[in-house]
Amino acid sequence: MPYITVKMLEGRTDEQKKALVEKVTDAVVETTGASQDKVVVFIEEMNKSHYGVAGKRLSDEG
């Protein structure tokens, strides 16, 4: 604890995800005082056809 879930579109590289987990963990430790080894990060990827804003999916944009 804390548990952090990052939901984002598919397409980031493995290096980006590695850095994401590292830097988000640092940010949480620095601001909440949590012990680093208690911080858990989950990444959830979305497909453009499963994500819509204002009633329109990203996959339907021209």
Which residues are known to be catalytic?
Answer: 2
Q: Name the minimum Å distance from CB 62 to its own copies.
A: 14
Question: In the chain, what is the greatest distance between 2 CA atoms, to the nearest angstrom?
Answer: 46
| 13 three-class SS | coil
φ, ψ of residue 20 to 5 degrees: the values are: -60, -50
Q: Is residue 48 within the footprint of its own copies (CB under 8 A)?
A: no
* Residue 58, both tokens: 């990203």
Q: How many residues bind its own copies (CB under 8 A)?
A: 51
Q: Is residue 61 within the footprint of its own copies (CB under 8 A)?
A: no
Q: Is residue 62 within the footprint of its own copies (CB under 8 A)?
A: no
